[in-house]
Amino acid sequence: MPCVDSLAHRGIIRAGFETIDNVLNGNKKIKILFVCMGNICRSPTAEGLFRQLLLQRRLHDRILVDSAGTHAYHVGNPPDVRAREAALRRGIDLGGLRARQVCEEDFFDFDHILAMDRSNLADLRMQCPAGCEDKLGLFLDHAPHLEEREVPDPYYGGPAGFDRVLDMIEEASHGLLEYLEERHFRIRSIS
C-alpha cells in the first residue's frame, strides 16, 4: 500500500532524501516521528508540544516533527477534542493536525521513531524494514525521572488523564531535546 501522506508525498522532503546541498552544508534536518495507536491523543500531543519547544529554542528549522498511528481507525480526523482542549490550556494548538497511519516510507524518512507504549513499539517492530530497527524506541526512555516507561492512552478516561499525559510528554520532550542537542548539534572540541 503506498503511503499517501508521507513526508515525500507532502513535499516536505523529496523521494525520502534531503537535498545534497543540505547534507553537504550540514543543514540536514533531524526527523522525529511520534507514534501511538490512533494518532488522535498521545502522538499529536507530543508533536504539538515538541514543535512548540523547538520554536522556543529556535531549533524548528533543524528538527522536523510529525506523528502517526499504528492503526487506521481515525485517518484524516483531527486530534480528540479533549487532547486539543488540554493542549490549548498550555498554549499549544493541535487544531491543524490530522491523523495518519504509519507507512513503510516512514521507516526510511525519519531518524527517530518514538512509540508511546510497548504495544505501539511491538506493532512498529512488526512493520519495520530490515536495517531500520535502530530508529525505534519508547518516547519515555527520554524521561528518566519518571517511573513509567509508557504514556497511558487517555482515550477512555476523563480530562485529568489528558493533563497527566501532557505532563509526561513535556518531561520526555525536554529529555529528547537534550539528547538531540548533544548527539546532533553540539560542537565538540578536538583534544
Catalytic residues: 36, 42, 153
Helix (H) or strand (E) holding 87: helix 81-88
Q: Are 165 and 151 in contact (CB under 8 A)?
A: yes
Of 144, 171, 165, 142, the C-alpha closest to 153 is 165
Side by side, the strands of the sheet bearing 112-115 are 63-69, 30-36, 112-115, 136-138
Q: Are 41 and 162 in contact (CB under 8 A)?
A: yes
